[in-house]
Amino acid sequence: MKSTKLANIRLGFAMLTFLNSPPVFSQVELSAGAESAGLADVRVGIENVWAVYNNPADMLSDSQFRIGVFAANPFNVDALKSVSISSIVTHRNFAFGVYYSRFGYRVSRQEQLTLSLGHRLNGKSSIGVTGSALHATFGNTIVAKGFSTALGFNQRLTANTTLYLWTTNPIVPKEESIIQSVYIAGVGIELSKEMRWIIQSSVSPTAQPSLSTGFQYNISKALVMHVGFNTSPRTLSFGFQLNRRGWSITSANTNHQVLGFSPVISAQWSN
């Protein structure tokens, strides 16, 4: 009885938070992929398949083809589950990516389709652009829809340090209520062969500024550990990644100070 009551309270609090916030497309500072979740929602400087959504300038890699799936269960509330799929094709200095996500509960759902293009300018810098079609439905009725754009830029400053810049919807029409602007700047530092540190600052006209920082530690070639902290909302994250024969399976948990844990898992294959 007590556990059922606690679950209902958590669901009510989560739903109240969701219903009193803008549609999920305006909260684009949230990242995709379990690796990013384990680093406290750091979205820049992570060169995996989820860069299609997180930062198109990170899509360039040595892999010609990558595909992945991602599932999240915010606050352990089944009604708030989300799932997404992403894929990247790389050819020389260009990368093209497709991302689809669906978030929803019993009555309402929100969907997003993203196309991204990344280009390596030289050995030290790369750029990327993203376009996303978004819509939310309540029952069988579309209650909101829109189109979102994003730009990303990476610049290697030194052999161990890289600067990341990302923005979405820098110019938003006054009549547009579901598309919001977000600006992110981050730095990635290779502290050693085994450890990498990423720090990211995010600002938006419609949300409190946030600072996210995460550490990636390569325990071995097959096992990687992630840990991170975010200031807004105040959350602590951790996760692990297993690598084997082109496969990467990552799990992570984010601990909200009020709502509790949000488990996520993702799998990626690359050739």
Model confidence pTM above 0.85: yes
pLDDT at 3 over 60: no
Banded model confidence at residue 176, pLDDT cuts 50, 70, 90: low
> Average pLDDT, stretch 52-72?
94
Structural domain including 262 reads: 2-270
The residue ranking higher by pLDDT, 42 or 8, is 42
pLDDT at 270 over 90: yes
How many domains are there within the chain? 1
Q: What is the per-residue pLDDT for 146?
A: 85
What is the Cα 181 distance to its own chain's centre? 16
CATH code at position 167: 2.40.160.60
The residue ranking higher by pLDDT, 195 or 123, is 195
For 154-164, what is each residue's pLDDT tens digit? 999 999 999 99
**DSSP code, position 38:** H
> Average pLDDT, stretch 74-92?
87
For 9-30, what is each residue's pLDDT tens digit? 555 545 444 444 444 443 434 6
Closest CA to 82 of 111, 61, 44: 111
> Average pLDDT, stretch 118-125?
94
User: b/e map of 81-116 (b: 16 or more CB within 10 Å)?
Assistant: ebebebbbebeeeebbbebebebbbeebbbbbebeb
